[in-house]
Amino acid sequence: MTASITPISATVDFDKEGIQHGHLVLPHSHDESAWGSIMIPVCVVKNGSGPTVLMTGANHGDEYEGPVALWDLARTIDPKQVSGRVIIVPAMNYPAFRAGRRTSPIDGGNMNRSFPGNSDGGPTAKIAHYFMSALLPLADIVVDLHSGGRTLDFLPFAAAHILPNQAQEKACVEAMMAFCAPYAVMLLELDAVSTYDTAAESLGKIFVTTELSGGGTSSAETARIAKRGVTNLLRHAGVLPGAVEGPQSQRLDMPDGRCYTPAQAPGLVEWMKDLGDEVKAGEVIARVHDVERTGTVPVDHVAGVDGLFMGRHFPGIVQFGDTLGVIGVTVD
């Protein structure tokens, strides 16, 4: 179904030199406006020859380091310094971003489960289809900035995937390391179907993603990591001059499902460890209390492997089956 024509049009010309600030216009006929549109901000900077880097934030609408770094980049980038092209879509699932939600309030769409999209579906599917058919083909390097959102929190890391094409994987790993996030993770995603990652990689692109903290907010510190990372990637690609700057990322690995500690009961979470703490397999990372009465024994949840506590459920209450904690194994 992805072969059909997108209803989305851009108010910018991707082939024009200089910097343009415009919108991806997605017609949206709904009860509150029969002839309305979703106006997705886009910025394109083009100068001279060089590769194209496509940068996105708010693939999930409640993740903010990406939008902050990209709104800042779009405002401050000097087109004369550019060699090649930068396409910035700072809020990819724009309806979700406006609502401050992971998914679109219009169609419930989780953008990262919507690829390759559909020109005849809801707004989320139409945006995915537009990236698949119009933007990804323009790009050499693709950067998609995630954070944990309102319900997860992470140590800040950049990530790449194990790929069948070793040359592509190597290029991705190099780009991941060029981001200079505090941590770098080689992700073996358990559920990679329909993601933007897989879509971009299947088209042969160099793809880097991140998780840069979470909780549905950002901070000066995590925004600095994001801003430094996007600049570093543009330097790494040769689109901006100069050398990559920043610390060497600490490598973490997630060898198997024991890295994940799922909640065994619903309740109030009493954390025994914080992100960044070293933990041993079998050590209690959190207790879950029955919220209906006091005086009962909480359910202990333990680490499945030795490593660094790198990700956790964010809200104070957890449901049975939620991922409660994630442990990353330190790689020398």
Sites for its own copies among residues 141-200 (CB under 8 A): 148-153, 191, 193-194
Phi, psi for residue 99 in degrees, rounded to 5: -85, -10
Token pair recorded at residue 46: 């083009």
**Which among 22-30, 156-164, 200-208, 231-239 is the span making contact with its own copies, rule CB under 8 A?**
22-30
Binding residue for its own copies, selected from 8, 42, 55, 199, defined by CB under 8 A: 42
Is residue 3 a contact residue for its own copies (CB under 8 A)? Answer: no
Q: Does 98 bind its own copies (CB under 8 A)?
A: yes
Kindly tell me which of 91 and 200 has the beta carbon lying closer to its own copies: 91
Tokens representing 310 are 């790198």
Element (H, E) at 52: strand 52-57
Among 218, 231, 232, 261, binds its own copies (CB under 8 A): 218
Structure tokens at 25: 């216009």
Q: How far is the CB of 115 from its own copies (least distance, A)?
A: 11
Taking CB under 8 A as the binding criterion, the range among 60-68, 155-163, 176-184, 240-248 that sits at the site for its own copies is: 60-68
Structure tokens at 171: 């290029």
130 sits near its own copies (criterion: CB under 8 A): no
Listed residue (204, 197, 124) closest to 164, CA to CA: 204
Q: Does 72 bind its own copies (CB under 8 A)?
A: yes
97 binds its own copies (CB under 8 A): yes
7 binds its own copies (CB under 8 A): yes
Q: Which of 45, 53, 54, 51 is nearest to 76 (CA)?
A: 45
Residue from 33, 49, 166, 248 binding its own copies (CB under 8 A): 33
Instruction: Determine, following the binding rule CB under 8 A, whether residue 269 of this chain makes contact with its own copies.
Output: yes
Q: Does 91 participate in binding its own copies (rule CB under 8 A)?
A: yes
- The piece of 181-189, 211-219, 232-240, 300-308 that touches its own copies (CB under 8 A) is 211-219
User: Measured from the CB of residue 212, what is the shortest distance to its own copies in angstroms?
Assistant: 12
Cα dihedral angle (127, 110, 190, 160), rounded to 10 degrees? 50
**Residues with Cβ < 8 Å from 92, sequence gap 6 or more?**
40, 56, 57, 58, 59, 111, 127, 131, 144, 196
Residues touching its own copies, count (CB under 8 A): 89
Show the tokens assigned to 129.
């289809």
Q: Least distance (Å) from its own copies to the CB of residue 191? A: 6
Which of 2, 37, 118, 168 lies at the binding interface for its own copies (CB under 8 A)?
37
The Cα 249–Cα 277 span in angstroms is 17
Stretches 89-97, 132-140, 158-166, 235-243: which one binds its own copies (CB under 8 A)?
A: 89-97
In the bound complex, what is the minimum distance in angstroms from residue 267's beta carbon to its own copies?
Answer: 9
Find the shortest distance in angstroms from Cβ 197 to its own copies.
14
Q: Is 256 an interacting residue with respect to its own copies (CB under 8 A)?
A: no
Please state the closest distance from residue 153 (CB atom) to its own copies, in A.
8
Of 62, 144, 197, 201, the one binding its own copies by CB under 8 A? 62
Candidates 17, 221, 256, 278; binder of its own copies (CB under 8 A) is 221
**Sheet strand arrangement including 299-302:** 299-302, 284-289, 267-271, 317-318
Closer of 84 and 214 to its own copies (Cβ): 214
18 binds its own copies (CB under 8 A): no
Q: Could you give the CA distance from residue 104 to residue 102 in angstroms, rounded to a whole number? A: 7
